[in-house]
Amino acid sequence: MRNLRVGLVVLVTSLAVVPAAGAFVVKQHNGRRVGLMLRPSAVPGYVAAHGQTRGNTGGGVVQYHNGPVLHSEAPYLIFWAPGGSHVIAPSSQAVLTQYLGDVAKDSGATDNVYGVLTQYTDTTGVGALYHQTFGSAQVITDTQPYPSQSSSCSLGTGLTACVTDAQIQAEITRLIAADQLPTGTGANAPIYFLITPTDVNVCLSGGQCANNNFCAYHDYYMDSGSPVLYASVPFAVWAGGATKGCQDDGTSVYQTPAGNYHGDPGYQIADNLSHELSETITDPLINAWYTGGNGSEVGDLCEAYAAVSSTKKDVSSSAYAPTLTGSASSGTLTDQLFEGDYYYTQTEWSNARNSCSATPTT
């Protein structure tokens, strides 16, 4: 899911044929605009079209709109799980913590998707450098009870609670104040990834929810004059009997690396997190790098597999390619390697290659 944008939002009330997955910029009831990384099964009731009020500069499918990119970042993991039925499996927490730790240890490498992002520069002339830091202090166990359920939140099969985007912002703000956490878009910019359990839905003010519409989203808000970069990455995409979460890779079996955590749903959540991390790096304030039309960002164009690539439909034959290890039939495919650990995550769009890519190119 994606971002806030300045522009004309056109509501399309008729249902149109859409790809298996996609990203659309939509207007919430509170007037804020947010881009959605749609679930494979979602058919949106409306699609937002950018009425680009700012000129595009630079070539390539993803265009520059004069906003900043991040030159270094410090991702935080917030596991918001009060207990009772609201728990996140220790194995899934371990997968996500290991993933961000491995990504940080490999900072500066040129053999993974984060190296692809360095081609996207801002007005300083400096690119979105692959420079990340991550340590134990950036893992937060949050047992704060969920607020009262809003009327705009919906439940469904396997769901026992629901939080809104506004409540997520409020909880992050509470943690920032309580733990004296940083904000802003400068050096080591903090990005707060709020993770919620499988039985907890997340809903936007426009009615889009994690159990039936989107996989994840990133956004920002202002706190005491400073931007707070954050993303919601809910396990609710696994509710209701889902067998692959939001893994839209063209295979029928859930793909995860062989090993101790094989089959853990946390691997697919790491995939959604990598999508939002890449887009926060290249479009933190929703005014930097994205396409015209739907306003797709670098992750949107590569989030779903199709035999025939289409930047207009956010599908690519290279969405999860090339394979490094494993087989589709055994559910052990991998396509990324960080610090000796394999993962299976989507690729990112490269203007330099004019395609989705797992590694950068000169």
Would you state the pLDDT for residue 207?
81
Would you state the pLDDT for residue 151?
86
Cα dihedral: 198, 203, 207, 213 (round 10): -40
E-assigned strand segments in 61-204: 63-64, 73-80, 139-142, 161-164, 189-195, 200-203
297-342: per-residue pLDDT in tens?
999 999 999 999 999 999 999 999 999 999 999 999 999 999 999 9
Question: Residue 33, SS3?
Answer: strand
297 against 151, higher pLDDT: 297
For strand 226-232 and strand 189-195, is the pairing parallel, antiparallel, or unpaired? parallel
pLDDT at 24 over 80: no
Apex CA 269: angle with CA 49 and CA 291, to 5°?
25
Mean pLDDT taken over the chain: 86
> Domain boundaries in the chain?
66-281+320-357
Question: What's at 8, amino acid-wise?
Answer: L
Q: What percent of the chain has pLDDT over 70?
A: 83
pLDDT at 204 over 60: yes
pLDDT at 203 over 80: yes
Q: What percent of the chain has pLDDT over 90?
A: 78
The span from the CA of 37 to the CA of 275, in Å, is 9
Among 11-25, 154-168, 195-209, 297-311, where is mean pLDDT lowest? 11-25
pTM across the whole model: 0.88
7 against 212, higher pLDDT: 212
26 against 134, higher pLDDT: 134
Q: Are 96 and 231 in contact (CB under 8 A)?
A: no
